Amino acid sequence: MSSQPKNIVILISGSGSNMAAIVKAAQAQDWPRQWGARIAAVISNRPDAPGLQLAQSLGVVTQVLSHKDFDSREAFDAALMALIDGYQPALVVLAGFMRILTPGFVGHYAGRLINIHPSLLPAFTGLNTHQRAIDAGCRQAGATVHHVTAELDHGTVLAQAVVPVLPGDTADTLAARVLEQEHIIYPQAVRAWLQHQP
């Protein structure tokens, strides 16, 4: 194991439930001792994101960088990169971070930027995945952890979970069932990524 800690920075915009699942897994499984990895910071683009308080309650450093303070997507991403790089991250985790990132940002973290998407990619990239799965008559839906590339929701798949689409499902009931699985596979995918690092 290298002496340099593997810092993980998690980006959120909302409730932070996937972030909390990862932080709790890191604490329960002692990632610092097992893989020299630690959750270095949680950063949100929204000052009112409930996940910030949740992260603080779990003992994680939090930062806010509001996209509304910047005139362009590029300017925000440049400032966000500078903030993240202050933590010398081995891995950057998007956990409900509701921003489309510029190619420059994605390229800067190539190979160490991951996201979770609430569909079985490559099906249903983008938004409204649960309603689209129901409308298409799918019998299964799910979630995918993947590397982030410049093309939206198209990076290498790291993990997937499948849930049934039940008769009478709404987008909300399906989303809730998928989210339960997200909380399982996202920490597992991060841990697997760490295990393959020198």
What amino acid positions are annotated as catalytic residues?
A: 117
* Owner of token pair 């190539």: 110
| Cα–Cα distance list, 192 to 2, 34, 183, 189 (Å) | 17, 12, 15, 5
Give, for 30, the enclosing helix (H) or strand (E): none
CA neighbor of 129 nearest in space, from 118, 145, 116: 118
Cα–Cα distance for residue pair 52/57, rounded to 1 Å: 9
Cα–Cα distance for residue pair 145/160, rounded to 1 Å: 6
Q: Which two tokens stand for residue 155?
A: 């990076």
Residue 140 per-residue DSSP state: E
Q: How many residues does the chain have?
A: 198
